[in-house]
Structure 1
Amino acid sequence: MSDFLKLSRDGDVAIVTIDNPPVNALSFHVRAPLMQALGALRDDASVAAIVIACAGRTFVAGADITEFGKPMQQPELRAIVAVLEAIAKPTVAAIHGTALGGGLELALGCHFRVADVGAKLGLPEVKLGLLPGGGGTARLPRLVGALKALRMIGSGTPIGADEAHAVGLVDAVFAGDLATHAVNFAREIARKGGPFTPVRDRNDLLGETELAAFDAEAADLARKARGLEAPVACAQAVRNAVTLPFDQALAAERALFVKLVASNQSRAQRHLFFAEREAAKLPGKDVIKRRIASVGVIGAGTMGGGIAMAFANGGFPVILLETSQEALRRGLATIEKNYAVSVTRGSLSEDAKRQRLAQFKGSTDYADLADCDLIVEAAFEDMAVKKEIFGKLDAVAKPGAILATNTSYLDIDEIAASTSRSRDVLGLHFFSPANVMKLLEIVRAEKTAPDALVTSVDLARRIGKVAVVVGVCHGFVGNRMLAARGAESEALLLEGATPSQVDKAFTDFGWPMGPFQMGDLAGLDIGWRNRKARGLTAAIADTLCEQGRFGQKTGRGFYLYENGSRTPVPDPEVEALIRAKAVEKGVAQRAIGAEEIIERTLYPLVNEGAKILEEKIAARASDIDVVWVNGYGFPVGKGGPMFWAGLEGAARIVERLEHWYRQTGKDVFKPAPLLRRMAETGSWETDATGG
C-alpha cells in the first residue's frame, strides 16, 4: 500500500511492516499509510491479531528529527497510538535492533511487545534536549514503575531485551526468526481471547507511596543536569503519570515537549546530533578503506595505556611497546587495575575483563610491530623523540600500515617527513583518559593518503569515538582554541579575580569545572613543560610549579586538596602569591565580575575558532562544536562555542572584543574577519560552497 509500508497475512494474523531505511524513522510518509492500515485492519473481521514489524536492521529507531520545530503533518504519532489502543483485537510489536524514542512509543501503543534477544529499547529524547512527546512518559511508568521509568527517560540510555523482559517492558524474548515467533505469539494470544488492556489503562504500578524515593532521585537528576532543562522536565512528566489522570498527564507531557522543542537548549543539542554525523563525512565515498585487524601502541604511560585500552575495548588485539620491561610491567599493571575498578563498579564483568586483558601483548622490541595494521605513537611530547620513533617505524612497519602520532601540539608534517611513507602518517589525538573520553581529533597532514584518513574515521566509530578531521597547526583545533581561552587567565588573576571566582563564572555558565580546577586535575606541570619548550612564561602558574604544586597529584596547585580529597579548597597562600605578583608587575587590583570573565575568556575562544575556519584547519563550524563539547566540556545545552556565538550574537562578541583590544592591545582580542562577516550575515561559511 506504500513504498514505505507493506501489509501481509499469515492466516488470520496481519503483519504491518515498516520499511523506511536506514532506521525506519517515523516520517510523515510512514505515519500516513500506517494510520490508514491500522484503520483498515481494525475493521477487518478476518484479522484476529496484528503484528507491527520493521524491515532492515532495526525496528523504528525514532521520530524524524528533521521535522522537529516545524508544523507537524497529520497524522502525528499520538493519533496513531490512540488508534492502536482502541483496537479490540490484540496488537503485538515485534522489536529487533533498536526501538528508540517514537519507535518505543509506537510499541507502547500495542497491547504486547516481543523482542529479539539482541534488541535494545529506550527513550533517548533527553539527549536532544527534549522529553518523549508521544506518550512515553505517561505509558512507560505503567509497565515498569515510576522509578525505573525515571532512570530510563532521565538518562536516555537504552536497556537490553532481557532486562526489558525482567522489568515488564516486553512480554517475551526470542532468539532467531522473530517474525515467526511474533506471529505465533499473536495467534496464541488471540486464541485465548480478551479483553486486551491497553497500556494506558494499567495502573497497578503507580502507587504514590514511592513518591518520596522518586523525588529524591529526581532531585539528584536535576543536580547532575547542571542547568539542562530537559532532565528536569522528564522527571516532572514521569511524576505526572503517577499523580494525574492519564489524559491530563498526556496533555502535560505535550505542553512540556512543545516548550522544550522551541528552547535554545534543545536547538543546541539537536545541532550537536547532526554535527557529530556531519563530522564523520569525508569526500570520496569510493575510497577503499584499509584493513585494520591489529594495532600497536608505543608507550604504556597514561595516554598510551588508555589508547591501548580503547582499542582492546573495541575488540582489537594490541601490542603495547615500551623501552624497558619495568616500564612495560607498570603499564600493563595499570591497565589491569583500571579494568578491575570497572569490575568493582559493576560496569564490566569478570569474564569481560579477562577477555580484554587477553587482547594485550607486551613488548620492548620494535620488530614485534611488523605485522600491525595501525601503529599509534604515544610517547613524550618532544619532536626529536617522535621523529626518532617514526624513523624506527619506517624500518619495521609493513607496507600500507597507518602510522599515527598522538601529539597534542606538534607539527605532523615534520614528523611525517622523518619517514619514507608520508602518505601513511596522520595524527590520532586522543583525549585523556583515552579509554573514556569520546573525542578523537584525526589530524590530516599535507601528504596523508585519502584511504588512510577514511580508514581512521571508520576506525574511530568502531572503537566508540566521535571523530573530527582537522588540519595541521600548533594545537590543531581544540588545544589551539584552549590557548586562546586561557590567554587572559593570569591577567584576570593579577587584576583582582581569584581562581575560585573565575572557576565559578565557568561553572555558572555550565562547564563541569573551571580552568584552574581543570589545570589542577590535568597537572600543572604539563603546561609548564609546554611553555618552557616554547620559550613562554606564566608568572603565577610557573611559580606554583617551581614550588612543586602540580595540582591534585601533589595535593596542592591553584587549590588545596586535603587528605587526598579531590575537592578543591581555596588556598590563602596562592591568593597572597597572586597579590605579590600583581605588586611586582605594577598591576592595580580591582573587583572583576563574571560577565567580564566570560568576555575575556570565551569571546577569544570563538574568535580563534573563526580564524581556524578561515585557515581551513576545520571544515565546518559544527566540527569545532563537536570538538569542544566532546573533548573539553563545553556545555551541551549551548551547542558548542560556534553555535553559542550565534545565540550570544556575533555582533556583540565583535563589539566587546574591539573594546578589550582597545584596552589591552592584545591580538587575542582582535576580531577575525570571518567573525565580523558572521556578525553581518549570520553564517560561518567561508565561501560560496561553505568550504
Structure 2
Amino acid sequence: MIRWEQGSDGVVVLTLDDPDQPVNTMNRTYVESMEVTLARLEAERDTVRGVVLASAKKSFFAGGDIGFMSKARPENAEELSELCTVLKSQLRRLETLGRPVAAALGGTALGGGYEIALACHHRIALDAPDSRFGLPEVTLGLLPGAGGVSRTVRLLGLQDALTDVLLQGQRYTPRQALEKGLVHELAADRAELMDKARQWVLSHPESAQPWDTEGFRIPGGTPAHPKVAAMLPVMSARLRKRLRGANLPAPRNILAAAVESAQVGLEAGQKVETGYLVELMTGQVSANMMQAFFYDMQHIDSGGSRPDGYPPHRARRVGVLGAGMMGAGIAYACARGGLSVVLKDVSLDAARRGRAYSERLVEKAVSRGRLGREKGDELLARIVPTDDPAALDGCDLVIEAVFEDPALKQRVFAQIEDVVAPDAVLASNTSTLPITGLAEGIARPEDFIGLHFFSPVDRMPLLEIIAGEKTSRHTVAKAVDIARQIGKTPIVVNDSRGFFTSRVISKFIDEAVAMVGEGLHPASVEQAGSQAGYPAPPLRLLDELTLTLPRRIREETKAAVLAEGGQWRPHGSEPVVDRMIDEFGRGGRAAGAGFYEYADGGRTRLWRGLYEHFTVPGREIPFEDMKERMLFAEALDSVRCLDEGVLRSVPDANVGSILGIGFPAWTGGVLQYVNGYPGGLPAFVARARELAGRYGERFQPPASLVARAGRNEPYA
C-alpha cells in the first residue's frame, strides 16, 4: 500500500495507494505496510534526508476502517486496544524518526487520515475547493483513535482543540484549515505541492514536533493553569446544555480524554485516549451512528434510491410558483445550485419580496466571509421575479410552493403547463397532500412528482421525493439528480397522505401532547423529549409549526379515512389541541400564544395555564416511559410505512428520520433504533407490548415486526 521512491537528494517520497480500495483507510493492509515501511526507514536512516507522505488517490486518506469498527463488540475490547496501540506507536515512530517529515495533502484528510498528517512535522494542503480536513469522529459516535486528541490539544491548546476540532467534528476547507492552524501552507497544484514538501524537508533537517522540544508547554496551559481550570467547568456546562441529557457519550469521552491527556506525557495521554475510544467503539450508539451516517448515507449518496437505466439529468431553468417563505427558500437553493430561477407570484411586488429573502441570505454570507461578493451577485442575478406565467417559457423544472389547497395547486399548474418545456419535471412542494390526487388535474401525470423541502430550505439538507401512482421511473430518476444538483440529500418514498416524514413526526408530537392531556407535568414532557435526544422538545416544536396546521391535517385525514370506509381511532392529543385553539385561543408562536408564552417576539416560558387546565398534581409515570413513548411511536409507525410500501428502503427511513424530522441521531434512525434496542428486536417487541398495555393499542407491534423478531432479523 505504500510505495517508496527515493531521489538523488535523499528525500524519500512515501505514496499511499491501497491496491484493493478506491480510497486509503486504516485497514490491515495499511498497518502491515506501515510497519514494513517504518522498519526500512529506521534501518536506512543514515541515507534518508527526509520523508514526504503523499497519496495516489484523489483524497489523501479517508480515515479509519468503518467496516471493521462498526462490527466491534464488548468482547473485542482487548483486540481493539492492541490495534490502537499499534497505530499510535507507528505514528510515534514516524514523528521521532530524527528526520523531517512533511505531509503533502493532495486531497481530503479526515479522521485517521488527518491523524497521520498530525504526526508529520509540516502539513501542506492542495488548495482544492472540494478538499476537507478535520477530525469528525464525534459525528459517528467515536473519538480520534490514532492520537488525534493528544496532538490537537498540544498543537492548539485545550480550548481551541475542543471547540474548533474535536467536540463538533468540523470539516474545514484548505483555507479554513490554514486559518485554524491545522495545515501550515497551501499549494496551487500538485506539482507545487510536491515541490514545496520536498523543499521544506531539505531546508529543515533538524525538525521535531513542538511537543518533543525542550521546554514545550501546551498553548494556554494545562488543566492545572488557573485560567484553564476556570474555563473547564464553563466548557463542561456548555456541553451539558448542548447535549441536554441525550444519549451521546462521544462528546463527554472526548472532553475527558482531552483534559486527562493534557496532564501527562504524550504516550501516557494516548493510552488515556485508547480507553475512552474502546468504550465508545464497543457500545451500541457508535454502531447506530456508523450505520446511519456512513452506510445508509453512502447508499443514498451513491444513488441507491435512484431507478436504474436512465441517463444523468441536469436541470437548467426552474420556475418556482409561490414566493412565500418556502418558495423563496427553494428559489435560493436552486440558484445556489447553479440553476436559473423564475420566481413567480400573483403580483410582482410579492415575487420581489421573495427574491429579497435570497438577498438577505447572500448579504449575511458575504459579511461573514463564507461567500465572495462576485459569487453572491452572480447567485442573485440567477433569480428573476415575475407575475407573468409566460416568463416560465422553456423551464425544464417547475416547483409549486403555494398554500396547501389542492384546487389552488392545480390552478397554478394549469397556467404554466403549456408554457414550460414539454418534458419538464412538474413538482409540488406539498408536505401532506397525496401526489396522486394532485396529479389528476395535470395533463402529464407521468412527469408529476412531489419534492418536499424542509424549512428553512437553505439549511435543511433533506429532500423527500414522492412518487405518485402515475409518476414515471424516469421522472423519479430526474428528481434524484436534481436533488443532488442543488446539494440536497434525497430519499424516495411512495405516495400516501403525509408521506413518510410528515406522517411520522406527527406521532412524536401527538404522544407528547397526549401526555399533557393525561395530566403529566408539561416541563417533564419537554425534558423527556430533550433527554430522548430530539433537537427540539415537542411542545416547543408544535408551537413553531402552529397548532392549527396539524389540526387541519388531522381533520382532512379523518375525512379521507371515513370516506374510504375506514375507522378513525381518536388520539389523546386531539382534545388538548382543540381546547388550546378553541377555548384558549392559543395557536402557536405565530399567534403569539401556544404551549409557551411569548413577549416581544421571543419565547419566555411554558404557558402557566397548562398547569391550571391540564396538569394533575401528583400524576406521574416512569420518566423512561415518557421518553420511549415518543421514540416508539415514531419507530412503530415507520415499520407500518415499510409494510404499506410508503417507505422503499431502510436507508431512506433512517436518513430521512434524522435529517428531515429530527429523530435522535444517537439511534441511527427510526429502524436502526429498533435494531439497536437493548436485547434486539425481541426485546423491542416485548417493550412495545408493555407500552401498549399501559398507554394504548397504538403501541402494539405490527405482525411483520413480531415475525422478524422471531427470526431475530434486523432491518437492513
Q: Identify if the C-alpha distance between structure 1 residues 94 and 599 changes in structure 2 by more than 3 Å, giving closer, same or farther.
A: closer
Cα pair 1:279 1:469 within 8 Å, conserved: no
- Residue number in structure 2 paired with 1:570: 606
- Residue number in structure 1 paired with 2:27: 27
- Residue number in structure 2 paired with 1:97: 107
2:3 to 3, 6, 26: 6
- Residue number in structure 1 paired with 2:279: 259
1:285, CA displacement in angstroms?
4.7
Cα pair 1:28 1:74 within 8 Å, conserved: no
Cα pair 1:139 1:199 within 8 Å, conserved: no
1:677 to 703, 707, 713: 707
Distance 1:544 1:305 in 2: 31
- Residue number in structure 2 paired with 1:195: 206
1:132 to 137, 144, 151: 144
Q: Secondary structure at the match of 1:265?
A: helix
Cα pair 1:42 1:89 within 8 Å, conserved: no
Q: Which digits, 9 at most, give the CA deviation of each residue in 1:39-72, with x for residues without a partner? A: 3244335442221111232111212211112655
Shifted more, 457-466 versus 355-364: the winner is 457-466
Q: Identify if the C-alpha distance between structure 1 residues 290 and 632 changes in structure 2 by more than 3 Å, giving closer, same or farther.
A: same
Cα pair 2:51 2:201 within 8 Å, conserved: no
- Residue number in structure 2 paired with 1:634: 663
Distance 2:642 2:243 in 1: 31
Cα pair 2:135 2:170 within 8 Å, conserved: yes
Q: Which digits, 9 at most, give the CA deviation of each residue in 1:294-316, with x for residues without a partner? A: 32211111111112222223333
The aligned amino acid for 2:212 is D
Q: Which digits, 9 at most, give the CA deviation of each residue in 1:638-673, with x for residues without a partner? A: 22222222315544544454456567775x334311
Cα pair 1:25 1:61 within 8 Å, conserved: yes
Q: Secondary structure at the match of 2:285?
A: helix
Q: Identify if the C-alpha distance between structure 1 residues 322 and 184 changes in structure 2 by more than 3 Å, giving closer, same or farther.
A: closer
Instruction: Please say if 1:64 is aligned against 2:65.
Output: yes
- Residue number in structure 2 paired with 1:602: 631
- The aligned runs of 1:276-425 (5 Å cut-off) are 276-280=297-301, 281-282=304-305, 285-342=308-365, 352-425=375-448
- Residue number in structure 2 paired with 1:585: none
Cα pair 2:518 2:614 within 8 Å, conserved: no
Q: Identify if the C-alpha distance between structure 1 residues 488 and 175 changes in structure 2 by more than 3 Å, giving closer, same or farther.
A: closer
Instruction: Please say if 1:526 is aligned against 2:537.
Output: no
Shifted more, 331-340 versus 152-161: the winner is 331-340
Distance 1:214 1:194 in 2: 38
- Residue number in structure 1 paired with 2:183: 170
Q: Identify if the C-alpha distance between structure 1 residues 414 and 554 changes in structure 2 by more than 3 Å, giving closer, same or farther.
A: closer
Distance 2:64 2:624 in 1: 39
Instruction: Please say if 1:275 is aligned against 2:315.
Output: no
1:466, CA displacement in angstroms?
2.3
Distance 1:27 1:301 in 2: 51
Q: Identify if the C-alpha distance between structure 1 residues 384 and 486 changes in structure 2 by more than 3 Å, giving closer, same or farther.
A: same
- Residue number in structure 1 paired with 2:172: 159
Cα pair 1:92 1:182 within 8 Å, conserved: no
Normalising by the residue count of structure 1, what TM-score does the alignment of the two structures yield? 0.89
- Residue number in structure 2 paired with 1:112: 122
Distance 1:197 1:382 in 2: 68
1:473 to 492, 496, 501: 496
Q: Which digits, 9 at most, give the CA deviation of each residue in 1:319-375, with x for residues without a partner? A: 211111232133223333344455566655655543432221111122222322322
Q: Identify if the C-alpha distance between structure 1 residues 424 and 25 changes in structure 2 by more than 3 Å, giving closer, same or farther.
A: farther
The aligned amino acid for 2:3 is K
Q: Identify if the C-alpha distance between structure 1 residues 664 and 140 changes in structure 2 by more than 3 Å, giving closer, same or farther.
A: closer
Cα pair 2:321 2:343 within 8 Å, conserved: yes
Q: Which digits, 9 at most, give the CA deviation of each residue in 1:614-638, with x for residues without a partner? A: 1222133342121221122221112
Instruction: Please say if 1:146 is aligned against 2:144.
Output: no
1:540, CA displacement in angstroms?
2.9
Cα pair 1:390 1:415 within 8 Å, conserved: no
- Residue number in structure 1 paired with 2:567: none
Cα pair 1:290 1:452 within 8 Å, conserved: no
Cα pair 2:101 2:201 within 8 Å, conserved: no
The aligned amino acid for 1:365 is D
Q: Secondary structure at the match of 2:124?
A: strand
Q: Secondary structure at the match of 2:58?
A: coil
Distance 2:180 2:701 in 1: 56
Normalising by the residue count of structure 2, what TM-score does the alignment of the two structures yield? 0.87
Instruction: Report the RMSD for the aligned CA atoms in angstroms.
Output: 2.9
Cα pair 2:497 2:557 within 8 Å, conserved: no
Distance 2:263 2:257 in 1: 10
Unaligned runs of 5+ in 1: 583-587
2:16 to 15, 18, 26: 18
Distance 1:250 1:43 in 2: 26
The aligned amino acid for 1:53 is A
1:505, CA displacement in angstroms?
1.7
Cα pair 1:48 1:187 within 8 Å, conserved: no
Cα pair 2:305 2:491 within 8 Å, conserved: no
- Residue number in structure 1 paired with 2:252: 232
Q: Which digits, 9 at most, give the CA deviation of each residue in 1:197-236, with x for residues without a partner? A: 1355153444234513355335423421333221122222
1:475, CA displacement in angstroms?
0.9
The aligned amino acid for 1:195 is E
- The aligned runs of 1:77-92 (5 Å cut-off) are 77-92=87-102
The aligned amino acid for 1:675 is L
Distance 1:171 1:590 in 2: 61
Q: How many residues align?
A: 672
1:167, CA displacement in angstroms?
4.3
Distance 2:420 2:714 in 1: 41
Cα pair 1:495 1:589 within 8 Å, conserved: no
Distance 1:199 1:239 in 2: 19
Distance 1:141 1:37 in 2: 28
Unaligned runs of 5+ in 2: 560-569
Q: Secondary structure at the match of 1:312?
A: helix
Q: Identify if the C-alpha distance between structure 1 residues 284 and 239 changes in structure 2 by more than 3 Å, giving closer, same or farther.
A: same
The aligned amino acid for 2:91 is V
The aligned amino acid for 2:54 is A
- The aligned runs of 1:432-511 (5 Å cut-off) are 432-511=455-534
Q: Identify if the C-alpha distance between structure 1 residues 329 and 144 changes in structure 2 by more than 3 Å, giving closer, same or farther.
A: same
- Residue number in structure 2 paired with 1:545: 581
Q: Secondary structure at the match of 2:343?
A: strand
Cα pair 2:98 2:208 within 8 Å, conserved: no
The aligned amino acid for 2:669 is G
Q: Secondary structure at the match of 1:409?
A: coil
Distance 2:233 2:608 in 1: 39
Distance 1:153 1:589 in 2: 43
Q: Identify if the C-alpha distance between structure 1 residues 161 and 652 changes in structure 2 by more than 3 Å, giving closer, same or farther.
A: closer
- Residue number in structure 2 paired with 1:561: 598
The aligned amino acid for 1:336 is E
